[in-house]
Amino acid sequence: MNIALLLAAGSSSRFEHQQNKLFYCVDEKPLIYYTIKSFQTSPLVDLIVIVTKIEYVEEIQKIVQKNNFDKVMHIVLGGKTRQESSFLGLKFVKTLAKDEDLVLIHDAARPFVSNQLIENLINKAATHQAVVPYLKQVETTFVTFDEQTIGSYLKREKLFRLQTPQVFNLGLIYQAHSKIKKRALSDDSQILFRLGKPIYYIKGEEENLKVTTENDLKLVRQIILEKK
């Protein structure tokens, strides 16, 4: 069984509007609608679990019911950090699935993951228990040590940007989360990395962007227009 775990418990602190970005409407649909639809339409995803805050549960339920997203069988409460929310979601998924099943952990603020990328990740994860999508870093990158001046430049050919969904053997990622609880890590693959577990990667997609600021919505509108 392949289970999509959508993380929708963030505070949208960098989004300029008072409204949570996941419920900001683009083309008359809230952003999270497009994210759920991406997994609803994938023939390889059997079940969707959404992790969110208690104040968003009713609104998400309405979106699910209105659009007949029948793969969304459960909405569970998240925690104070992304890592905590992910672990709470995994604890719930463990009650539904077997250790050898796959879980696709995804940022709900990435609305346009394609069925093809989902398929590629699942196929890779069938033999490599932890798989993440990536994009190459194309801009010059530097490190600062005083937040005022450039400390050193990094070789961009050695730098990559991680995306989600990140696909894991359920037993493996659950065990990793159980061992590392006190760090506010922003990415699930980091947890496996800290335990010395191998993580494999495949090429991601430019359209699989994460909406963080209001400027990102311009790209969202453009993608929706092109899809029409």
pTM for the full predicted model: 0.93
Q: Is the pLDDT of residue 11 over 90?
A: no
C-alpha closest to that of 106 among 86, 124, 129: 86
Give the tens place of pLDDT for each residue, 199-213.
Answer: 999 999 999 999 988
Give the tens place of pLDDT for each residue, 95-125.
Answer: 999 999 999 999 999 999 999 999 999 999 9
> What is the per-residue pLDDT for 190?
93
**Domains of the chain as residue ranges with CATH:** 2-227 (3.90.550.10)
